[in-house]
Amino acid sequence: MNQRLKFGIGAALLVGAVAYLMYTGVQQTSVYYLTIDEFLARRAALADEGVRVAGRVQHGSVERRMTPRGEELRFRLGDFKGEAQPTDSVPVFFVGVTPDMFRDDGGSDVIVEGTYRDGTLMAQTVMTSCPSKYEAEPASGR
């Protein structure tokens, strides 16, 4: 019985350690995951926070420039209302390798991960999330 108790204590310690690691892990590494509408609505409160924002690249807003430290990419991130001009959008700045699926004429759905600073979303990563990447949209939907 004594040995079982010892083992129980060991197991409890282990479970406690996992719980602690998970709790602090969530505390220190979590970022808000927002749609562009949610982001725009509350962006004032998000200054200098880590965020992950899903939105659509606005047509005609993409600028690329080659610099010695790599390619600079600027575009405006707007909502998913398709062709219609969104009422509001946020400028995004990114240095790095533009993803393969990113369209220079705009219209790509992207997830931007980075920090919101001085009115600009400074992106660490830009991921394209194309709904038809692995799975075509239902034919009836188009």
Partner 1 sequence: MAELGAFALIAAWVLSAYAIVMALAGEAWRQREFVASAEHAAIGVWGFILIAVGALLHALAAHDFAIEYVAHYSSTTLPLAYTVAALWGGQAGSLLFWLLVLTSMSTVVVLQNRQSNRALMPSVVAVLMVVSLFFLSMLVFVTPPFQRLAFVPPEGRDLNPLLQNYWMMIHPPALYIGYVGCAIPFAFAMAALITGRLDDVWIRTTRRWTLLAWFFLSLGNLFGAEWAYTVLGWGGYWAWDPVENAAFMPWLTCTAFLHSVMIQEKKNMLKVWNMVLVILTFALTIFGTFLTRSGVISSVHSFTQSGLGPFFIGFLLATLAVSVALLLWRLPLLRSENTLDSILSREAAFLLNNLVLVGIAFAVFWGTIFPVISEAVRGVKITVGPPFFNRVNAPLGLLLLFLMGVGPLIAWRRASARNLRRNFLLPGLIGLGAGLALVLGGVREFYALLSFSLCAFVMATIVLEFWRGVRARQAMVGEHVGQALVRLVAKNRRRYGGYIIHVGVVMIFVAITGTAAFRQEQQVAVAPGQTLAIGDYTLRFDGVQERDTPHIAYLTAAVAVLRNGRVIDTLHPEKRFYKKPEQPTTEVAFRSTLGGDLYLVLGSYDQATRTATILAYINPLIGFLWWGGIVAALGTVITIWPARVAVPATHTAPAGATDGATVR
Q: Which residues bind partner 1 (CB under 8 A)?
A: 3-4, 6-7, 10-11, 14-15, 17-18, 21-22, 24-26, 28-34, 38, 52, 54, 64, 66-71, 96-98, 100-101, 111, 113, 127, 129-137, 139
Residue 79 CB, shortest distance to partner 1, in Å, is 16
81 or 129, CB closer to partner 1? 129
Determine how many CB atoms are found less than 10 A away from the CB of residue 126: 23
Q: What's the Cα-to-Cα distance from 101 to each of 6, 67, 117, 127, rounded to whole Å?
A: 56, 22, 26, 9
Give the Cα separation of 132 and 138 in Å (integer).
10
CB of 85 to partner 1, least distance (A): 25
For partner 1, the closer of residues 53 and 90 by Cβ is 53
CA–CA dist 55, 67 (Å, integer): 26
Question: How far apart are CB 22 and partner 1 at their closest, in Å?
Answer: 5
Contact in structure between 117 and 92 (CB atoms under 8 Å):
no
